[in-house]
Structure 1
Amino acid sequence: MKYFFCLILFFGLLFGCSKKEQTPTASLKPSFGNRNEVVLVIDDSLWVGSLGDSIRAHLAQTTAESTTTEPIFDLVQLDPSIFTTRAKTARNIVLFSIHTQHEFLLQKSVHATPQNFFFLRAKTKSDLLAMFKKRADSVISVFKASELNEETHEVVRTSTKELRELKEFFGCTLKIPDDYHLQVKSEFPFLWYQKDLSSGSVNLVLYEFPIAEIENNKGSVEEHLLQARNFIGKKFIKTAKDTAYITTNTKEYQFVSKENMLQMPAYRIVGSWETVNDYLKGPFISYAIRDEYYQRYLFVEGYVNNPLKNKRDQILEVEAIIKTINFNENGN
């Protein structure tokens, strides 16, 4: 789990932001803010116009991790005159100002902890706009990593059960919050955990396929990963209707990227699922981990079924659960 605690510092160094001497975190109050909330400290006159439009276009763009038109962040705009002591303890803050100095600065835990506090200062409005456009992706990356990190802490805090079936079936551990229950257990091997919502459910599933079935000359790895997902959906992930099951919605964009998990290659797939012979649909996130030791691809993925409700934060929760995976025999 050291990866999560180092991640935010890594992003700060990666994007080349200058830093100042920090207040010892032990003396700071805990930060506050809803998940994926960003406080923007900017003069009202700058918020209305090209700069405000650009900020909204970047920081409130539609997230890929949801089938609804949810923004990646919920924005709270404050004029500097009402940027109170309480507001200064928000977890994610960006301060824009017209200033004699030209500066892009990230400071950690300035008034509270944890906290990401960006300062953007420029001599003119046009310079400020150009600076933000150049640095927007960096700001987004830091905030997204921070929110995933905070959600992971919450997942670990609310996970107290030892789930022996995870080690028995897959030789791994996961931190799964106690409000998830085991829905289906099959010797395939396949495990399905579910969290009940007032209007639906959040679902976490695990299964595996041999590397030879995913990597061969009959198609691309990406095609075989989606075929594997659809096979599992048809075989195991049913709805209340007898003939209904989950499949990948290939009509909508599927985002596939590569990364490493525990020094193993992994494919991260984000997209939408739908049901054959039913009306249900929603977003999913899937990690397919290439495990050379067991000659398998281990799939760990989350589905959100929450009709007419926002799903962004629930997808974040299941991704945080997935990120706690550990293959150490001694656990986390």
Structure 2
Amino acid sequence: MVQNMKHTVFYLLIIAGFMIGCTKKSETATINLNKSFGNRNEIVLVIDDSLWIGKLGDSIRHKLAQPVAGSTDTEPQFDLVQIDPKIFTTRAKNARNIVLFSTNTVHEFLLQKSVNATPQNYFFLRARNTTDLLKLFNTRADSIISVFKSSELNEQMHEVVRNSTQDLHELKDYFGCTLKIPDAYHLQVKNEFPFLWYQKDLSSGSLNLVLYEFSIAEIENESGSIEQHLLQARNYIGKEFLHTAKDSGYIVTDPAKNVSITKEKLQELPVYKIIGSWETANDYLKGPFVCYAIRDDYYKRYLFIEGYINNPFKNKRDQLLEIEAIIKTINFNEH
């Protein structure tokens, strides 16, 4: 481990958003490290069995295994694998996401990258006693979640890029952009609206990626809030284009049913991220969705890119991550 890199450490701490009490050491040279392993959104928790069944374990499960936002099922945001330190084997130390808890004389919150394998996020939480360890975890849980979510999205984006070889010229023609869409997706509907609908077939349903646009004037005006107009635009598209196999069935989103709208940035452009549950008028289908409405002054539009998960009776968390990873590969060539 390279030591005494004070400036690098300080810079990395700022980027990670950690405050006093969190130390981040420089990364191990990855050239000789094995590839890490682990299912998508899986965390290995190294914690004594006696702590896992107590208040600390309860808090860990409450924070790290809370339900996925927008999902119609009770599905945890992370799968937790608990291992007692006495049986923390060499293989387990190669997991992609690890959090190690221990009571010690040192009070420490530490993140190390690529310690035993690459890529790897390895958190160390140490405190003098169980009470202090619980307080330390509760204080730092959001930072841990943020790092793991960002890392898993990044890994999913790499997978999306590896599996994308199609030249989707219609994206450039319709929207002046490119996306890395895996080859398993096929173009389902193309309309001059403009509107594009890509679909990936599953054994029990489908993943659906949709693109369309509305002018900024249609979304930003005095007849209602931006948030109201975003949802109205989505419901208009659902009724016009997103039809189901059943006669008169189409996708709708009820704004009163657990819809979240937050502001973000994508490719330095302002974005409204919308997550929630969709359902169908005149049909029984439903599921989660994620939508990015990108405000694009160059074309004076809001570009909507969204994914609908139709996978009844199956987990949908990792499929939502795949859709979001595809959206994050957007590139505006003409800009």
Q: Is the 2:68–2:317 contact (alpha carbons within 8 Å) kept by the matching residues of 1? A: yes
Once residues 98 and 34 of structure 1 are traced to their aligned partners in structure 2, the CA distance between those partners, rounded to angstroms, is 28
Letter of the structure 1 residue corresponding to residue 271 of structure 2: A
Question: Which shows bigger deviation, 12-21 or 57-66?
Answer: 12-21
**Please, what is the CA RMSD of the aligned residues?**
1.2
Selected match of 2:17 from 14, 19, 24 = 14
For 1:263 and 1:146, the matched residues in 2 are separated by: 20
Give the letter for the 1:266 counterpart: V
* Corresponding position: 1:307 with 2:299: no
Distance 1:240 1:160 in 2: 30
2:46 aligns with 41
Alignment of 1:125-204 (within 5 A): 125-204=130-209
Displacement of 1:12 after TM fit? 5.7
The yes-or-no answer on 1:286 pairing with 2:291 is yes
The 5-angstrom pairing of residues 6-85 of structure 1 reads 13-16=16-19, 17-85=22-90
* Letter in structure 2 aligned against 1:123: R
For the 8 Å contact 1:208–1:296, the answer to whether it is kept is yes
Gaps of at least 5 residues in structure 2 are 1-11
Q: Which residue of 1 aligns with 2:9?
A: none
Identity of paired residues, percent? 71
Which stretch shifts more, 244-253 or 177-186?
244-253
Query: Secondary structure, in 3 states, of the residue corresponding to 1:27?
Result: coil
Residue 254 of structure 1 is matched in structure 2 by 259
The alignment of Structure 1 onto Structure 2 pairs a total of residues equal to 322
How far 1:63 moved relative to its partner? 1.1
SS of the equivalent of 2:255 reads coil
* Structure 1 position 272 matched with structure 2 position 277: yes
- TM-score normalised to structure 1 length: 0.95
Task: Tell me how far apart the structure 2 counterparts of residues 189 and 19 of structure 1 sit (CA, whole Å).
Answer: 47
Q: Distance in 2 between matches of 1:147 and 1:13?
A: 15
The alpha carbon displacement at 1:329 in A equals: 4.2
Match among 207, 210, 219 for residue 214 of structure 1: 219
Structure-2 separation of matches of 1:21 and 1:250: 46
- Aligned to 2:230, which of 211, 225, 230? 225
CA distance in 2, matches of 1:141, 1:55: 15
Q: How far apart, in 1, do the equivalents of 2:270 and 2:88 lie?
A: 44
Aligned 8 A contact 1:209 1:296 in 2: yes
**Contact 1:247/1:276, CA 8 A, preserved across alignment:** yes
Q: For residue 93 of structure 2, give the secondary structure of its aligned residue in structure 1.
A: helix
CA distance in 2, matches of 1:11, 1:299: 32
Equivalent residue number for residue 88 of structure 1: 93
Mapped to 1, the partners of 2:65 and 2:14 lie a distance apart of 21
2:233 equivalent to 1:236: no
**Contact 2:13–2:24 at 8 Å: present in 1 too?**
no
Code of the residue aligned with 1:59 in structure 2: it is L
- Which residue identity is paired with 1:13? A
What is the DSSP-based 3-state SS (H/G/I as helix, E as strand, rest coil) of the residue aligned with 1:152? helix
**Cα drift, residue 21 of structure 1:** 3.7
Checking the alignment, whether the CA contact within 8 Å between 1:249 and 1:271 is kept in structure 2 is no
